[in-house]
């Protein structure tokens, strides 16, 4: 899925799937402002595009992303990062995306790269994938959501181990701990991620967005609040043409034809 171009994020589509390829291969896709601005803009464009039902973010064979760009950060001061709202300004655009986002990870997913994958809805990993939050080695910290999302994903003990030691974990361990959804041989990563995305994107878009929002509630809030939210979203399905079509198609033993409304 990689290609060579000047743009830090390559944008393409396959059917109803939008594909974003991080493209700073010489720097192992280190995440600088230009890349995060481009990624955010492309995500919002796909989110607004009625022809897109799911989004895949991927990198190169060697690196999904080796973290925030250390060369860029090295000279920054406290005053500058507060003023410029580092992270908040352009990294959190991903949180605004209501369509399912799949990370397809090969090679290094470190620091901000790991945090980017953690912020996606599904992570498909190649056997070559290596995950870690090694910021402690720089006397920094995983400040793009890592200290919050990693414990939620894999539990406090393992998260503390990874954050405090700065060690990397391989795809098998990430799979065992529940950080990733699937692990496949590297040569199958693109097919697996795009096939999954195509399946997802074939479903009713309003139902997908509703479902994603419900699961996000489980991730972020209390059970009582989440159950209440889920119930309202369930009731709302009955107001959609797609749910009527889905159930009628099942009863008629034919494939559904969703209009995404
Ligand atoms: C800037 C980076 C980079 C990074 C790699 N490069 N990671 N540049 N920022 N995060 C550059 C290298 O400087 C080098 O450039 C080129 O990419 C290839 O990297 P090598 O180190 O030569 O490759 P290799 O020996 O294979 O080692 C791969 C690696 C190592 C293990 C991934 O590059 C590494 O440890 N990178 C840093 C990982 C890290 O600390 N990430 C967390 C960053 S802080 P040249 O010009 O020499 O070819 C972070 C904070 C986020 O993410 C939270 C909010 C702040």
Conformational region of residue 166, where left means phi above 0, alpha means psi within -120 to 50, and beta covers everything else: left
Three-state DSSP at 253 gives coil
Which pair of structure tokens corresponds to residue 202? 């074939």
Find the 76 Cα to ligand 1 centroid distance in Å.
17
The rounded Cα 28 to chain-centroid distance in angstroms is 18
133 lines ligand 1 (CB under 6 A): no
Helices (H), the chain: 33-48, 70-73, 78-83, 112-119, 146-154, 156-165, 171-177, 189-201, 205-220, 223-237, 241-251
Q: Locate tokens 């464009």: which residue? A: 45
- Residue 159 to residues 74, 130, 147, 201: CA-CA distances in angstroms? 26, 15, 8, 32
DSSP letter (8 states) at residue 77: -
Chain centroid to CA 100: how far? 8
pLDDT at 1: 46
Q: Say how many residues make up the chain.
A: 261
What is the whole-number distance in angstroms between the Cα of residue 96 and the centre of ligand 1?
28
Q: Which atom of ligand 1 is nearest to the CA of 110?
A: 41
d(CA 260, CA 51): 10
For CA atoms 52, 39, 60, 129, the dihedral sign is negative
HSE-up of 145 (CA within 13 Å, CB side)? 21
Return the DSSP state at 47.
H
Q: What's the confidence (pLDDT) of residue 3?
A: 47
CA atoms within 13 A on the CB side of 198: 9
> In the prediction, which pLDDT does 2 show?
44
For the question of residue 51 being annotated catalytic, the response is: no
Residues of the chain with confidence (pLDDT) below 50: 1-4
Q: How far is CA 189 from the centre of its chain?
A: 15
Whether 105 contacts 180, CB under 8 Å: yes
Round to whole Å and give the CA distance between 205 and 261. Answer: 8
- Other Cβ atoms less than 10 A from the Cβ of 205: the count is 22
pLDDT digits (tens, 9 = 90+) for 86-117: 999 999 999 999 999 999 999 999 999 999 99
DSSP letter at 68? B
Residue 6 is predicted with a pLDDT of: 82
How many other C-beta atoms are found inside a 10 Å radius of the C-beta of residue 55? 27
| Mutation pick for ligand 1 pocket among 24, 70, 116 (CB with most ligand atoms within 8 Å) | 70
Is 135 noted as a catalytic residue in this protein? yes
Parallel, antiparallel, or unpaired for β 122-126 and 182-184? parallel
The reported pTM is 0.96
The rounded radius of gyration (Å) of the Cα atoms in the chain is 19
């Amino acid at each position: 899925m990689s290609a060579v171009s000047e743009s830090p994020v390559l944008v393409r589509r396959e059917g109803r799937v939008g594909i974003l390829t991080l493209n700073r291969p010489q720097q192992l896709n280190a995440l600088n402002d230009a890349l995060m601005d481009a990624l955010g803009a492309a995500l919002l464009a796909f989110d607004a595009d009625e022809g897109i039902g799911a989004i895949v973010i991927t990198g190169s064979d060697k690196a999904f992303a080796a973290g925030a760009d250390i060369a860029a950060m090295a000279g920054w001061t406290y005053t500058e990062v507060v003023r410029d709202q580092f992270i908040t300004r352009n990294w959190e655009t991903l949180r605004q995306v209501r369509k399912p986002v799949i990370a397809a990870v090969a090679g290094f997913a470190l620091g901000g790269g790991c945090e980017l994958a953690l912020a996606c809805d599904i992570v498909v990993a190649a056997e070559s994938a290596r995950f870690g939050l090694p910021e402690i080695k720089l006397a920094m910290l995983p400040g793009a959501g890592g200290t919050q999302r990693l414990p939620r994903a894999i539990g406090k003990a393992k998260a503390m181990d990874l954050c405090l030691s700065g060690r990397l974990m391989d795809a098998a361990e990430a799979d065992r701990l529940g950080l990733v959804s699937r692990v496949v041989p590297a040569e199958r990563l693109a097919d697996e991620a795009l096939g999954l995305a195509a399946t997802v994107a074939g479903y009713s878009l309003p139902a997908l967005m509703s479902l994603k929002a419900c699961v996000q509630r489980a991730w972020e809030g209390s059970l009582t609040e989440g159950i209440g939210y889920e119930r309202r979203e369930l009731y709302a399905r009955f107001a959609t043409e797609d749910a009527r079509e889905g159930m009628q198609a099942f009863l008629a033993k034919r494939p559904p034809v969703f209009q995404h409304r």
